[in-house]
Amino acid sequence: MPAYNASSTIGSVLERIPPSLMKNLFQIIIVNDGSADDTGIVIEGLKETYKKIRILTHPKNKGYGAAQKTGFEEAVKEGADIGVLLHSDGQYAPEIMHTLLDPFEHGYDVVQGSRMLAGGAIKGGMPLYKYLGNKFLTFLENLAYGLNMAEYHSGYMLYSKRALENIPFEKLSNTFHFDGEMLLMAAKKKLRVKEIPIPTRYSTEKSHLNPFTYGIDVLKIIYRNWRGKYDF
């Protein structure tokens, strides 16, 4: 769980994880990415209730991708069979995590919870400009990568041990498009990817993502891939 200024939401996200799932989790790795609010204090308090919490802290904010790298490095070190990315702002539903875990029983390596399948984005209140931007960028990425993904921009991502060991995620960017880079690398490494439709919701919580900067980052990654910068 990457956490940046998430003091008001992270507790409710943990509460929403079904008890049957919580029981089977080996560890909850929370990466406090240089939060300027009381996120660190809140997480320390949550450890009293959730004994499986492991806190990793970046003294300064390094970015969304960097927080994931720290968490996944720890997961690999611990020998995790599956690594789950769960946002600490509550936008992605912890209640359906079991649905996203099911494909691993059938040999998949990467599972993405997609908001663009089954109308999840519109039903969840995704603003029209974000919906259209997502569709346009996904069109460009599919064209550039020779793939057919419904989207590259969901933050509900799950990885098998094989995926985390074979994707050189430490070489990827620290941007908000880290998830899209992981999908690109999964395709390059010939890993099996499964898209599952998910619901989503847009609340009043402030997003740390700048849509313009995000779009530029996506275009830069497409260009870098064309230049062969992801052939490792």
pLDDT at 87 over 90: yes
**Among residues 189, 174, 176, 173, which one has the least CA distance to residue 134?**
176
Other C-beta atoms within 10 Å of 60: how many? 6
**Residue 209, pLDDT score:** 83
Task: List, in sequence order, every residue forming a beta bridge with 32; answer none if it has no partner.
Answer: 3, 57
Q: What's the rounded Cα separation, in Å, for the pair 99 and 94?
A: 10
**Residue 119, pLDDT score:** 77
Confidence of residue 126 (pLDDT cuts 50, 70, 90): confident
* Whether the model pTM is above 0.85: yes
pLDDT tens string 167-217 = 999 999 999 999 999 999 999 999 999 999 998 776 655 567 888 999 999
Q: What Rg, from alpha-carbon coordinates, does the chain have?
A: 17
pLDDT at 15 over 60: yes
Domains of the chain: 2-226 (3.90.550.10)
Q: Specify whether the backbone of 77 is left (phi greater than 0), alpha (psi in -120 to 50) or beta.
A: alpha
Q: What's the rounded Cα separation, in Å, for the pair 20 and 22?
A: 6
